[in-house]
A and B are shown apart, each in its own frame.
Chain A
């Protein structure tokens, strides 16, 4: 079926020639293709185009080295701080930590479990000196039911909250949202 108005003098269409390029290259040319000079010329042009295209696609043209820095400083200027969680302190005044900072520590703790990647992490102060956490995870194929991995995540996240943030976990919800990697 012709997709273009680029008809050759032999009434075949350039797109037809393109569709048949590999077949003809493999020696499966029909009678017309063997003899028609228009088709042959079109094939040669299309082959030249295909070669140039693969060179273009393989090009590793990179932006100037400072583009990454420009992008990231613009991004950092708009960092969403989110809410704060109060930390226990015996001193007068208060100490707060951002939920994002807590989330980063907890995600890191979950990541240390083999076959687990932490994704979204919601942290909320429960109002009684502890935090409630909902942690979304991706797990590797084969341990989709959690196996030993999820109890280990629970253990490490709980330990990290207490030891590295200084806040006890009130509640920890683990949500397995995705599976990554290939079936074995």
Chain B
């Protein structure tokens, strides 16, 4: 049995959510700090625009605060955020003007923490992947990102995009095949 002092251990989501629902802003702060990064990264990859991604994340957390009372299972907070972020991104893409499609100025700059040669290779691969992601349909991109980057389950992704888990598997497999085709020149 551990004897470490309680406050040193980060509190579990369910505890923070139930406190936040009681109006405890401090508890909600911790949830925002815990999840704003992953939600932002999902939104940036969906939208290819950092400003739009931040807007989405801000709306997601404000709306989540308003609707905490409707969350049935306190431990399901993370899944709830992923769903809200994905849906807002899909809506934002639908609302965009048709020609204003993803402009890839998010292309990676070479990473400083790697050897130059290796960094260039990694950057090249990432740039290729980023460009290839933009060629997927938004729904396919969402499925692929949620699974391969954020590690969510097929069932959960199915609920987000409104199809069965089997259909999600199929979409991700097709997305993977499409992405792999683009990755070819980088080997």
Contact = CB atoms under 8 A, between A and B. Distances in A.
Contacts of A78: 62, 65-66
B103 interface: no
Contact of A18 (B18, B44, B176): B176
Contacts of A100: 22-24
A48 B180 contact: yes
Interface stretch (B6-14, B78-86, B92-100): B6-14
B155 to A, nearest CB: 17
B180 A71 contact: no
B29 to A, nearest CB: 6
A42 interface: yes
Interface in B97-146: 122, 125-126, 128-129
Query: Which secondary structure dominates chain B's binding surface?
Result: helix
B148 A14 contact: no
Contacts of A5: 174
Interface centre among B11, B129, B149, B176 (most CB of A within 10 A): B176
A44 B40 contact: no
Contacts of A6: 174, 177-178
Contacts of A163: none
Contact of A55 (B12, B15, B24, B122): B122
A145 interface: no
A79 B22 contact: no
A52 B36 contact: no
A142 B74 CA distance: 22
Given A72-B29, A117-B11, A136-B18, A45 B126 contact: no
A28 interface: no
Interface of A: 3-6, 14-15, 18, 41-42, 44-49, 51-53, 55-57, 59-64, 67-68, 70-72, 74-76, 78-82, 100, 103-104, 107, 111-112, 114-121, 136, 138, 142, 178, 180, 184
Interface of B: 1, 3, 5-7, 11-12, 14-15, 18-19, 21-25, 28-29, 32-33, 36-37, 40-41, 44-45, 50, 53-54, 57-58, 61-62, 65-66, 74, 122, 125-126, 128-129, 148-150, 169-170, 173-174, 176-181, 183-184, 186-187
